[in-house]
Structure 1
């Protein structure tokens, strides 16, 4: 979908302290040695700071950078890939109260690692019918430091080379239909719903597990499901289906943005510690994996829904991209959900 009238008016991220993987190894942290072998160098750790506070910190800065007033925000969308607080309580209203103090609708999204791009699509539709000069605040955050998650071992059990560690962060973006230093040129989503069983594994759906319950065995679930698929041709076909769907979506947004793969300056994506992920993601597009965000990701861990926009904020804040550059945003998450977008830098944003 081409999106000529969708702008990023403000963008910011909040990253707490970074724990070097070497320090985790020295402390005897299980899984830390494997994390280093998988390419990770650090992981962001929020300690006791609630995830919504990480989002609120990023949202305050994004609002300041946008030059917009709190009253201009006609919708708040907040996402997280993990528990945000007490069951029966919703973080979107908390972020709104702490940052805006307004009465616009506040809605939470439960869409995993594609959530911020999914929220961007929803924001675009909302802005089409909103009063002139309106904006939508999209935020996301996670703090994985609970007894139910081991950030170093959560993915263990899902085959060789599937190393992933979880970091904590918050990110926020102010979207406008009237202007901003960055323009979203195209945006698309897709899903491979038959893959939901990969993330569910053989675990019972009821009663649902909670933050205070047993450990989240995501890697074990995936490994269990993979082991149940004994037909090797079927396993190869499933892997090929994911690669083809992801590539097709990226090509779609590049074409709809009116550019070619050669025009893509940088690519933001789910953080990985190993270059194999980027080679599989960007190779089919003919894009040099060096245009990805490997080193940034390695230093922070996978940040749930924040990877793509946090990377974009990093590129803009450090001057790695400037006016005339195009950034491809790609995401894939549990479900499986897929999303992609192309962002054009129009001018240097306010700091």
Structure 2
């Protein structure tokens, strides 16, 4: 979908302390030695700061940078890939109350690692019918420092191709239909819903796993599902299907933005410790993997839904991209959901 009137008015991230992976390995943390081998150098750790507060910190800064007022925000969308707080409680309202304190509706998104991109798509629909100067706040955050999901070993048991570990962070973006230093030129979403079982493995849907229950063996779930696919050719075809679908979504986003692969200055993506992931992600698009954000990701860990927009904020703040540049944001997540967007930098944003 081409998006001629969707601007990023404010963008910010909140990253807590960094824990060197070498220190974790020296302390005997299971999985840390493998993380070092996979290229990770550190991981962001929020200790006991709740995920919604990480999002709120980022949202306050994004709002300040946008120059908008709290009453300009007509909708709040918040996402987390992991538990945000007590069962039966919803974090979107926390972000709304502690950042805006207005009566704007607050809605939670349950879209995994593509949630902020999916939120931007929903914001586009909202803003198309909203009064001038209206804005939509999209935020995301996770704190994976619990006993039910180990940040170093959660993916063990399934070859992800990117040596995944989990980091904590918050990210927020203020979207406007009228003005902003960045413009979203295109947004494309798709899914491979026939693969939904990949993320639940052999577990039953009921009763659902409680927030404080047994550890979440995500990697073993994937492995259990894959073990059922005994036909090696079928397993290879599944991998090819994912790569083809991911490439198609990104290529469509580039085409609908009216640019070419050569015109993509940088790419933000799911954070990886291993260059092999970027090879498979970007080579099919004709984009050099060096245009990705491998080194940044290696310092933080995979941040749930935050990776793409947090990396965009980093590229802007460090001067790695500037006016006239185009950035491709691409991701895939549980479900399987796929999303991509092309962002054009119009001017240097406020800091």
TM-score (norm. length: structure 2): 0.99
| 1:1-351 superposed matches below 5 A | 1-159=1-159, 161=161, 163-351=163-351
* Cα drift, residue 159 of structure 1: 3.2
CA gap 1:3/1:251 in 2 versus in 1, 3 angstroms: same
SS at match of 1:187: strand
* Cα drift, residue 162 of structure 1: 5.1
Is the contact made by 1:38 and 1:161 (CA closer than 8 Å) also made in structure 2? no
CA gap 1:287/1:173 in 2 versus in 1, 3 angstroms: same
* Cα drift, residue 164 of structure 1: 0.7
SS at match of 2:315: helix
Comparing 73-82 with 198-207, which one deviates more in the overlay?
Answer: 198-207
SS at match of 2:267: strand
Is the contact made by 2:162 and 2:274 (CA closer than 8 Å) also made in structure 1? no
- Give the Cα–Cα distance (whole angstroms) in 1 for the partners of residues 275 and 111 of structure 2: 26
Is the contact made by 1:272 and 1:294 (CA closer than 8 Å) also made in structure 2? yes
* Cα drift, residue 206 of structure 1: 1.1
- Give the Cα–Cα distance (whole angstroms) in 2 for the partners of residues 175 and 273 of structure 1: 30
SS at match of 1:211: coil
Deviations 1:226-245 (A, max 9, x none): 11111111111111111110
Is the contact made by 2:19 and 2:44 (CA closer than 8 Å) also made in structure 1? yes
Is the contact made by 1:155 and 1:162 (CA closer than 8 Å) also made in structure 2? no
CA gap 1:162/1:13 in 2 versus in 1, 3 angstroms: closer
Is the contact made by 2:167 and 2:302 (CA closer than 8 Å) also made in structure 1? yes
Is the contact made by 1:146 and 1:211 (CA closer than 8 Å) also made in structure 2? no
Deviations 1:59-95 (A, max 9, x none): 0000000000000000000000000000111011100
**4+ runs deviating over 2 angstroms:** 159-162
- Give the Cα–Cα distance (whole angstroms) in 2 for the partners of residues 122 and 34 of structure 1: 39
Comparing 208-217 with 329-338, which one deviates more in the overlay?
Answer: 208-217
SS at match of 2:305: helix
TM-score (norm. length: structure 1): 0.99
CA gap 1:286/1:204 in 2 versus in 1, 3 angstroms: same
Deviations 1:262-289 (A, max 9, x none): 0000000000100011000001001000
SS at match of 1:180: coil
* Cα drift, residue 137 of structure 1: 0.3
- Give the Cα–Cα distance (whole angstroms) in 1 for the partners of residues 164 and 247 of structure 2: 22
* Cα drift, residue 211 of structure 1: 2.3
SS at match of 1:305: coil
Is the contact made by 1:185 and 1:257 (CA closer than 8 Å) also made in structure 2? yes
Is the contact made by 1:24 and 1:32 (CA closer than 8 Å) also made in structure 2? yes
